Structure 1
Amino acid sequence: MADKNYTELLNDLKDNKISELVIKPDEFTDFQVAFMNFDTRKRVVGKASQNGIITYTYQSDSGSNS
């Protein structure tokens, strides 16, 4: 029973409504289901931090590598 709608959050990330999505270890299993079904998941980039926290950002179609 997930508290968050991860598909909606991923869409918000894609649409630049949010700049990043922070996932804690206890959320990862629920998040992973939405992530694997997300149509542009290859553009979602995660950066691991201490304590198993992952911060996801969305790489737009801008064509820049920075």
Structure 2
Amino acid sequence: MIINEQKYTELLNQLKNNEISKLVIKPDEFLDFQVAFMNFDTRKRVSGKASENGIITYTYLSDNNSDN
């Protein structure tokens, strides 16, 4: 199921606000997600890690991340 740009923006905001810890994007969602991602005001703090089958897991790098 493909989610629209507004829904991806909501998910990115949830990631930023620590309401969710990660956002998993599948290959068939990527092009729609990319539009929301490119318009997201703090996208440079969003880190993506690719895994098998083209799945990307995004996390948000906050100032108090101790994992950096």
- Whether 2:21 is the aligned partner of 1:19: answer yes
2:58 to 56, 59, 65: 56
Q: Give the equivalent residue in structure 2 for 1:47.
A: 49
TM-score (norm 1): 0.90
1:3 paired with 2:10, answer no
> What secondary structure sits across from 1:16 in the alignment?
coil
CA shift digits 1:3-40 (9 cap, x unpaired): 35100000000000000000000000000000000000
Partner of 1:28: 30
Unaligned runs of 5+ residues in structure 2 are none
Task: State the number of aligned residues.
Answer: 65
Q: Following TM superposition, where does structure 1 have runs of at least 4 consecutive aligned residues deviating by more than 4 angstroms?
A: none
Percent identity over the alignment?
A: 75
Q: Distance in 2 between matches of 1:64 and 1:40?
A: 19
| Unpaired stretches in structure 1, ≥5 consecutive residues | none
